[in-house]
Amino acid sequence: MNFGSNSALELAELRAEQERDAAISAAMQAVETRGSPVCVDCEGTIPAERRQAAPFATRCIDCQMFHEQEKLHR
């Protein structure tokens, strides 16, 4: 079978590489960004232990777990 050129495959590979690079960049920026002492979802205090372990955190543990579960079920 002849499917013609590999341009569609090359475009898909390029797109996957761009998405991977964007995800890495976003993750690096998140690590470098300071979090918040207040949860963006419930406005409760983020414990010092969490902020020390994950200085970039913007959610308390409960809200973060809920957020991650929501993402899994989309």
pLDDT digit string (tens) for 20-51?
999 999 888 877 777 889 999 999 999 999 99
Is residue 1 predicted with pLDDT exceeding 70? Answer: no
The burial of 32, by beta-carbon neighbours within 10 Å (0-12 exposed, 13-18 middle, 19 or more buried), is given as exposed
Comparing CA positions, the residue from 61, 65, 66 lying closest to residue 48 is: 61
Is residue 3 predicted with pLDDT exceeding 80? Answer: no
44 touches 38 (CB < 8 A): yes
Whole-model pTM above 0.75? no
56 touches 30 (CB < 8 A): yes
| Other beta carbons within 10 Å of 39 | 20
